[in-house]
Every structure is written in C-alpha cells, then in structure tokens.
Chain A
Amino acid sequence: MRLLGIETSCDDTAAAVVTDGCIVESSVLASQDEFHRAYGGIVPEIASRKHAEMINAVIELALQKAGRSFADLDGVAVTCGPGLPGSLVVGVAAAQALCTALRLPAYAVNHLHGHIFANYLGPAPKGVEPPPAPFLCLIVSGGHTDLVLVETAQAQQVIGRTVDDAAGEAYDKVARLLGLGFPGGPVLDSLAQHGNPAALAFPRGLTRDGTYNFSFSGLKTAVRYHLDAHPLDPQLSAESLHARKADIAASFQQAVVDSLCDKTLKAARDLGQTTVALAGGVAANSALRSQLTLRAQALGIDVRMPPLEYCTDNAAMIASAAFYLGEQARVRPAALRIDPNFAW
C-alpha cells in the first residue's frame, strides 16, 4: 500500500511517498537545498500563505523523486493537528482536493502520532524492522516533550509530559541567552562538546514528584540567573568567552539529558518495558542519543532511534502512521477537517 503523506502543521511544508508504512520512496521538505535550487528560496516559516505557495510543488517533487504518479497512490495521509489553524488548513485542503479528484481514501493523522512512527521508517527498497510493541517512546521537540506507552501500533497512551516548556524550547531560549543562533539545539549541542557538564549545578525539574512528567522552565530561569550574576564579559579573550559559554551549554545540556533519561528509564523499569524509542527534533541531540543508549544498556533496555532526517518534522512519518492506524485514521475526504487541539 502506497501513501502520499502531507505535513504543514508547523514551520516546514513537507510531502513524502511511503510504501507499507516503512519504505520511504521519497521525503521532501520545502527547506531542503535541492528544493531551493529547483523552486527558488521560499521557506514557509510560520506563515500559511507561504505553505500555500509551496504545497503543490512539494507534492510534485515527492512524487517525482519516488518515480511515481498520482495513479500509483492508494491514499493520502495528512496532519490535521495539533498546530496553527492557518498552517494546517493548507495541507488538509490539498489532501482533500487530491482525494476527491482521484477518488482516494483520506487519512487524518495527529502530528505526535506521526513522530512515533518515525521509528518505523527506513530507506527503499526494504525499510526497517519496526520496534517490537509494547515499547516506550519519548517524543522531544521544540513544541513537545511527551512520554508515550505504545501498547500496539494502534493503541498508545501518554504517561508523562512537560508541565511547562518543551525540551527543545529550553534549548532555543538558552541559546538566545548565550547569544547563539536559532534553532538553538544543534548549536548548543556542538558547543557543549567543548565544555564541562559538571561545571555548573543547574536544577533537574520534578525529580521526586513520583510522576513521569518533565519541567524545563526552572532550568531556563536558572541559566538566566547564572548569567545575571556572572555576565559574559566582552573584555574576556575569545577563548575564555568560548570556554565559559561551552561550560554553560554543557551543564545545561546535562541537566536536560539527565531529566529526560531519568524519567524515561524510571517509567521503563516501573512498567516492565524492554524497548525505548526516541522521536522528535531533540532526538537528533548527540548527548541524548549516547547517554540514553549507555544508561539503557546497563539496565538491559534496548534503545531505538530514527534516522536523523526523520527525527525532525517530515511527511514520511505521517504516511507511516496512517498505514499502521488504518481504519482508525481513515475519514471520508469530505469530512477531513483541521483539528488544532488534536488530542491523543
């Protein structure tokens, strides 16, 4: 079964062709370099008008790269929420038009479900072996930090989430405090590799609350307090300034990684889970990947991580989710609607 996936819930316009939920024939983002060369550099950012300008070309390129035409499709899967109404509506309208015109089944997918299914994706021609259910999935991104018990591909429950800021948001805000660029994740991650993670004792949120929830707002504020008390002195040499920033980045990152690993592995032990999967943009973070793997191995827990390109927002994961959710996600094309508060 070959599905076209469409994703416009946030910054990037994306389309993909995926067969049987795991074989990625193509996955296109409007921000990709080759797309820029072909269509001239518009990046959608957050504006629905820009999604609307990009969507047809992105879908066309996804089909072209897969070597397929509309006639080869068995259905269209689209992100219906959560997200900004003006952005979601572009993808949903495109899916509705295609399904109506081509008489194809439509699938309404929750963006967060999609992130989990990034773990089911592999390159053509064979794809990958899906993680064995049940497993725990930690979804960490700029907008979300959710711990999900995946009982089967069709049945999931959220057992923990952030009570304030998402982990990726904390990265972006601390990067801003340090005068680094956006998005903050990759910049801080590489800077942290030059610093001492034990240099500063930043707080780990909600360590003893007995839940699987996360909190990163206090950590962000602690970095701010530190910088207020010990400003980055522009008189310092470039090396000293770099070393100080690197220590702050490393100590901050260690606090984030400790919080994520502690709660996830506690949940795995409590619930007898032997597989933990990562998902979301922060799943590309090198410290999270390596430390979670090491700590899980010591407990006999297997860690699964999607390829980096499927950690961040993409449409292949949406097509995969639709394949596995099947009838649960299927709607009449005429009934396809945005759902900005799409609940699990």
Chain B
Amino acid sequence: MRDPLITQNLSVATAEATRKIGAQLAKRCAAGSVILLSGPLGSGKTTFVDGFARGLGAGPATSPTFVIAHSYPSGRIPIWHLDLYRLEDPAQGEELDLEQYVSTDAVTLVEWPERVAHVWPAASVTIIFSITPQGRMLSLSVPAAMQHVLEGLALVG
C-alpha cells in the first residue's frame, strides 16, 4: 500500500515569492528527488523551477516547453527540467525514454507530468499550482516518509 500523503498549502502573492519557495525546497532536496509540477498555463511552474535552480546555484532557468528537456549541470546537484506540455499522447513519452532523466545523482523537475503519468516514482514531491484572486496557491504533497521536506516551509512564503 502507498504511504499516506502529507499536504501543505502555501499562498503566494508574487512571482518572487514562488521563486523563494523553489529556492527553499532546493535546499531540502537531495540528489534523486523527483518533483512533479501540475497546474494550468501561467500558474508559476517555470517560475518555481527558476527559483529552485537559483537555489542550487544552477540558475537562471527558462521554459523548456519547445525542446522538452533542459539540463542545468553546474549547481550543487545537477538538474533535469522537463516539460511534457507538447506531448499529446502518452506513447510519445515512451518514445522519449523519459526514464533516462530520472537518476540518483540529479534532481528532476517535471512540468505537465500527468501527460505521461506512469513513469514517475511514488516517492515524488507533487506540487499543484492554481491561480487565485490573491495570486497563486501551491499545494505541496509528499509521502509521509518524506515529511521533513515540507517542515517549516510555510515560514518562507
């Protein structure tokens, strides 16, 4: 049976605040982490990755939508930044051999992960972005065993 999920919601008013949460999470993530970023266009997914990459000393990061994968090898931990927005059909994910982007010596951040859902490990961090009248809501979930990743995160928003 799957570990129960621990969820934490963070409300942010600016893109800069989204970047800060990304940078904070970067400091808590070890190599091998997979972070799945879901939410509509313009909800802050790439902005979050930009903050995350800067937090690891590897940024800035820009949108990989067109080329699907960007890598940022120069930070504390190498980063793979994937964006599956362009995939219309899960079979294209198999063609792309997405498993090659998940490894024990890198952090993998995936935008639009639901386009090819079965590839990602159960022990992933999931962040659901939504647009609210106040700005953005980030809803972060981790399996209970990874609870430490979220501890104290609310203080930084």
A interface residues with partner B (beta carbon < 8 Å): 10, 45-50, 82-86, 141-143, 161-166, 168-169, 172-173, 176-177, 182, 217, 220-221, 224-225, 228, 340-341
**Cβ of B92 and Cβ of A163 under 8 Å apart?**
no
Which of B42, B66, B131 touches A143 (beta carbons < 8 Å)?
Answer: B66
For B83, the closest partner residue in chain A by CB is A169
| Given A217-B42, A221-B41, A341-B73, A47 contacting B92 (CB threshold 8 A) | yes
Cβ of B121 under 8 Å from chain A: no
**Cβ of A217 and Cβ of B65 under 8 Å apart?**
no
Residues of B within 8 A of A141 (CB): 66
Report, as a range, how many residues of chain B touch the other chain: 20 to 34
Within the assembled complex, what's the spacing in Å between the Cα atoms of A228 and B131? 11
Within the assembled complex, what's the spacing in Å between the Cα atoms of A125 and B69? 40
Residues of A within 8 A of B47 (CB): 164, 217
Residues of A within 8 A of B65 (CB): 142, 165-166, 169, 172-173
Contact with A along B52-76 (1 / 0, CB 8 A): 0000000010110111110101000
Which of A46, A50, A169 touches B63 (beta carbons < 8 Å)?
Answer: A169
A-B contact pairs, 6 of them (CB 8 A): A10-B67, A166-B65, A169-B65, A177-B41, A340-B71, A341-B71
Within the assembled complex, what's the spacing in Å between the Cα atoms of A10 and B96? 12
Within the assembled complex, what's the spacing in Å between the Cα atoms of A176 and B40? 12
For B69, the closest partner residue in chain A by CB is A84
Residues of B within 8 A of A163 (CB): 60, 62
**Cβ of B67 and Cβ of A82 under 8 Å apart?**
yes
- Tell me the residues in window 85-112 of chain B with beta carbons closer than 8 Å to chain A beta carbons: 86, 92, 95-97, 100
Residues of B within 8 A of A165 (CB): 46, 62-63, 65
**Cβ of A164 and Cβ of B46 under 8 Å apart?**
yes
Within the assembled complex, what's the spacing in Å between the Cα atoms of A256 and B112? 25
Residues of B within 8 A of A182 (CB): 86
| Given A84-B69, A143-B66, A165-B63, A220 contacting B42 (CB threshold 8 A) | yes
Residues of B within 8 A of A168 (CB): 66
Residues of B within 8 A of A48 (CB): 95, 97
Within the assembled complex, what's the spacing in Å between the Cα atoms of A16 and B60? 35
Residues of B within 8 A of A225 (CB): 42
Which of A46, A166, A228 touches B92 (beta carbons < 8 Å)?
Answer: A46
Residues of B within 8 A of A86 (CB): 96-97, 100
Which of A46, A143, A162, A228 touches B95 (beta carbons < 8 Å)?
Answer: A46
**Cβ of B62 and Cβ of A164 under 8 Å apart?**
yes
**Cβ of B92 and Cβ of A45 under 8 Å apart?**
yes
Within the assembled complex, what's the spacing in Å between the Cα atoms of A307 and B122? 50
Residues of A within 8 A of B96 (CB): 46-47, 84, 86
**Cβ of A84 and Cβ of B68 under 8 Å apart?**
yes
For B85, the closest partner residue in chain A by CB is A173
**Cβ of A217 and Cβ of B63 under 8 Å apart?**
yes
Residues of B within 8 A of A83 (CB): 67
Instruction: Tell me the minimal C-beta distance from B67 to chain A in angstroms.
Output: 5
For B46, the closest partner residue in chain A by CB is A164
| Given A45-B92, A46-B92, A86-B96, A221 contacting B42 (CB threshold 8 A) | yes
Instruction: Tell me the minimal C-beta distance from A227 to chain B in angstroms.
Output: 10
**Cβ of A84 and Cβ of B67 under 8 Å apart?**
yes
Residues of B within 8 A of A46 (CB): 68, 86, 92, 95-96
Within the assembled complex, what's the spacing in Å between the Cα atoms of A224 and B42? 8
Instruction: Tell me the minimal C-beta distance from B83 to chain A in angstroms.
Output: 10
For B60, the closest partner residue in chain A by CB is A163
Within the assembled complex, what's the spacing in Å between the Cα atoms of A45 and B40? 24
Within the assembled complex, what's the spacing in Å between the Cα atoms of A76 and B47? 40
Residues of B within 8 A of A228 (CB): 131
Residues of B within 8 A of A161 (CB): 62
